[in-house]
């Protein structure tokens, strides 16, 4: 074929060469209309004063071709990366989520507790069944529309699923508009718009005198969030929301949320604790979240009790709160009995919503324990990191719940992090974040979804969110010091995770992934799937085309990543920056090329 590039197709069990086409340019500086087709032109040369590497050659037509092959490839031991580069998964794997793979979960069904909806939780396949190939973008994928326009509009081709629009269009979740999806801001219980609903909740929590923020709500957990319009319209109040929903019949709801630029993740409340610390949220919100809180002795609502701070609210917008037919009154009575046993107080019940407050009355809890209405949790269990921990049929007694403080979260003192160390970390990242933006050379609108893979005390996220229009998913590795409570205490949000496993999100989720001292931590880890190459593959899956991966680590790690990056179709620049000890260190700025199977 002329021009030196090869176009091929792939069938299961066959290998073919792939033309991986570079698509260059941002999305018209954030405007949503114009020429919506991707632009196929040569990658601009790297700027001066940087060291770059690439694995492509340019054809006369302006298309760049690569040696990477299309091939279904599974993880093998020992792991060997082909000289030609990491193989590319066939196009049908463009939405591959390793730990929420329907085919694998179907194999597990006989061993799962379906009455507890265990099939909706994370189930990671064994190493030999995991794919080890680059996840391609779907046909006609475009660089996402930029925030804040993306709150209301996203490209249809990026999330080309019609089911939600068909079944939820009447509730104004999402509507089709030509090449775009339009999000009017509705939901099952707020089809006339989230702002009206949010104000009603404010009235209910303040006895008609204020809004949710004046009611003390700053951090919210939205259960079964749909397309996350509730979280989107809490942002003007300065309220941060951790939104989650399972990968279920409401296909791709979390993918829609993330494409919009709203923080969300795939998760389900079923048999294990949610991956968040105790006493972290001022409100847990359930609007038709399809969770049976009244079943199994209320073990799920006892998990809500664990997650709520003292004086936090549980908002329940669902038929048992207002309907008198079918078995809804029976369900309501069970909820009242459960919440009363946990010493919650019903503060309002209006329209289609009921709101309880967790008062944290220790005397009441101990009295109810004596009456055998509840069981008090063992204090040893309360302190465990909430990662793969079974739900507990008991109630915590929150003793001296730390107050929120951006100046110094006192919970950090318990794990040996002093106020001086916290302040130093905060100041360091404030300076470094500004340098990052200078070196990335992009507009502020080109970065919205950010992940910090080893967040420590949240200094990087605080610096990013104070100065730039981003949200940050703070990840605290479950095998490292438990700082996540401190991150929540300073007003941020985040999650526990173990990077020996893939993250619970869709491909092409993040614009920027920050990787500080993470890879060296896992270098000597004995678990499966913990190699540097495994973690790089997962980062490639969840980073968007043209997204940045910034890596700081030991020199040996930096050298290895720099050598491997071209095989993952990343461009690399090296920059010399100061570390926390004022010493010079090499920092990698990797950027994922915008390639497509054609």
Digit-coded pLDDT (tens) for 448-464: 999 999 999 999 999 99
Mean pLDDT of 498-523: 97
Q: Distance between CA atoms of 283 and 221, rounded to whole angstroms?
A: 6
Cβ burial of 186 (10 Å; 0-12, 13-18, 19+) is: buried
Q: Cα angle at 489 between 484 and 491, to 5 degrees?
A: 105
CB count within 10 Å of CB 47 equals 10
Q: Distance between CA atoms of 140 and 162, rounded to whole angstroms?
A: 16
| Percent of the chain surpassing pLDDT 70 | 87
Q: Is there a contact between 224 and 253 (Cβ–Cβ < 8 Å)?
A: no
Q: At what angle are helices 419-440 and 459-467 packed, to 10 degrees?
A: 50
User: Over the chain, what is the mean pLDDT?
Assistant: 88
| Percent of the chain surpassing pLDDT 90 | 79
Tell whether the model's pLDDT for residue 312 goes beyond 90.
yes
* pLDDT for the residue 63: 53
Mean pLDDT of 321-346: 97
Residue found under tokens 């709203």? 262
Residue of 187, 215, 221 whose CA lies nearest to 199: 215
Tell whether the model's pLDDT for residue 416 goes beyond 50.
yes
* pLDDT for the residue 527: 76
Cβ burial of 96 (10 Å; 0-12, 13-18, 19+) is: middle
Per-residue pLDDT band for 33 (boundaries 50, 70, 90) equals: very low
What lies within 8 Å, CB to CB, of 517 at 6+ separation is 454, 552, 553
Mean pLDDT of 14-21: 37
* Separation in Å, CA 19 to CA 26, 169, 578: 22, 38, 40
Q: Distance between CA atoms of 71 and 514, rounded to whole angstroms?
A: 29
Mean pLDDT of 261-287: 97
* pLDDT for the residue 403: 76
Tell whether the model's pLDDT for residue 189 goes beyond 90.
no
Per-residue pLDDT band for 101 (boundaries 50, 70, 90) equals: very high
User: Quick check: helix, strand or coil at residue 160?
Assistant: coil
Residue of 187, 408, 443, 421 whose CA lies nearest to 315: 187
List, for residues 49-94, the tens digit of each pLDDT value: 444 444 454 444 445 567 899 999 999 999 999 999 999 999 999 9
* Separation in Å, CA 49 to CA 127, 432, 575: 41, 19, 9
List, for residues 228-255, the tens digit of each pLDDT value: 999 999 999 999 999 999 997 656 899 9
CA atoms within 13 A on the CB side of 170: 2
Q: Is there a contact between 519 and 551 (Cβ–Cβ < 8 Å)?
A: yes
Per-residue pLDDT band for 341 (boundaries 50, 70, 90) equals: very high
Residue of 558, 552, 556 whose CA lies nearest to 578: 552
* pLDDT for the residue 231: 97
Tell whether the model's pLDDT for residue 168 goes beyond 90.
no
* pLDDT for the residue 276: 98
* pLDDT for the residue 16: 33
* pLDDT for the residue 249: 63
What tokens were used for 66?
């690569």
């Amino acid at each position: 074929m002329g021009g030196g590039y090869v176009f091929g197709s792939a069938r299961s069990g066959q290998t073919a060469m792939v033309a991986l086409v570079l698509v260059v340019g941002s999305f018209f500086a954030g405007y949503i209309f114009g020429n919506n087709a991707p632009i196929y032109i040569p990658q601009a040369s790297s700027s001066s004063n940087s060291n770059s590497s690439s694995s492509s050659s340019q054809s006369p037509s302006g298309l760049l071709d690569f040696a990477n092959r299309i091939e279904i490839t599974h993880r093998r031991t020992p792991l060997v990366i082909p000289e030609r580069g990491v193989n590319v998964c066939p196009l049908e794997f463009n939405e591959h989520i390793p730990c929420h793979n329907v085919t694998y979960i179907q194999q597990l069904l006989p061993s799962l507790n379906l009455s507890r909806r265990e099939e909706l939780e994370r189930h990671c396949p064994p190493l030999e069944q995991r794919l080890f190939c680059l996840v391609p973008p779907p046909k006609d994928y475009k660089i996402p529309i930029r925030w804040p326009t993306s709150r209301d509009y996203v490209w249809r081709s990026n999330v080309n699923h019609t089911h939600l629009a068909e079944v939820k269009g009447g509730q104004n979740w999402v509507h089709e508009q030509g090449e775009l999806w339009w999000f009017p801001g509705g939901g099952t219980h707020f089809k006339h718009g989230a702002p009206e609903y949010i104000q009603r909740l404010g009235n209910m929590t303040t006895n008609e005198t204020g809004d949710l923020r004046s009611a003390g709500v700053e951090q919210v957990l939205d259960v079964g969030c749909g397309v996350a319009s509730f979280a989107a319209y809490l942002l003007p109040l300065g309220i941060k929301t951790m939104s989650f929903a399972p990968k279920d019949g409401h296909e791709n709801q979390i993918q829609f949320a993330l494409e919009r630029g709203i923080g969300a993740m795939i998760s389900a409340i079923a048999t294990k604790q949610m991956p968040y610390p105790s006493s972290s949220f001022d409100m847990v919100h359930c609007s038709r979240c399809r969770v049976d809180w009244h079943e199994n002795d209320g073990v799920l609502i006892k998990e809500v009790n664990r997650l709520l701070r003292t004086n936090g609210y549980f908002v329940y917008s669902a038929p048992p709160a207002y309907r008198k037919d079918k078995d809804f009154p029976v369900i309501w009575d069970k909820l009242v009995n459960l919440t009363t046993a946990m010493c919650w107080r019903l503060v309002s019940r209006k329209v289609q919503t009921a709101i309880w407050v967790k008062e944290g009355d220790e005397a009441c809890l101990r009295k109810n324990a004596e009456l055998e209405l509840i069981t008090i949790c063992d204090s040893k269990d309360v302190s465990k990191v909430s990662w793969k921990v079974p739900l507990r049929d008991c109630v915590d007694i929150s003793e001296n719940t730390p107050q929120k403080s951006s100046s110094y979260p006192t919970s950090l003192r318990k794990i040996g992090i002093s106020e001086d160390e916290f302040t130093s970390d905060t100041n360091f990242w404030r300076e470094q974040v500004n340098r990052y933006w200078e070196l990335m050379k992009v507009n502020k609108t080109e970065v919205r979804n950010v992940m910090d893979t080893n967040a420590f005390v949240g200094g990087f996220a605080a610096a990013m969110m104070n100065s730039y229009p981003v949200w940050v998913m703070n990840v605290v590795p479950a095998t490292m010091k438990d700082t996540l409570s401190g991150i929540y205490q300073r007003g941020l949000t985040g999650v526990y995770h173990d990077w020996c496993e893939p993250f619970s999100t869709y491909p092409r989720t993040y614009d920027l992934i920050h990787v500080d001292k993470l890879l060296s931590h896992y270098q000597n880890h004995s678990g499966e799937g913990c190699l540097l190459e495994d973690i790089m593959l997962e980062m490639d899956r969840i980073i968007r085309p043209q997204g940045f991966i910034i890596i700081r680590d030991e020199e040996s790690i930096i050298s290895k990543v720099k050598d491997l990056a071209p095989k993952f179709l990343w461009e690399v620049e090296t920059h010399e920056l100061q570390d926390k000890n004022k010493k010079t260190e090499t920092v990698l700025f990797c950027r994922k090329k915008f390639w497509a199977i054609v």
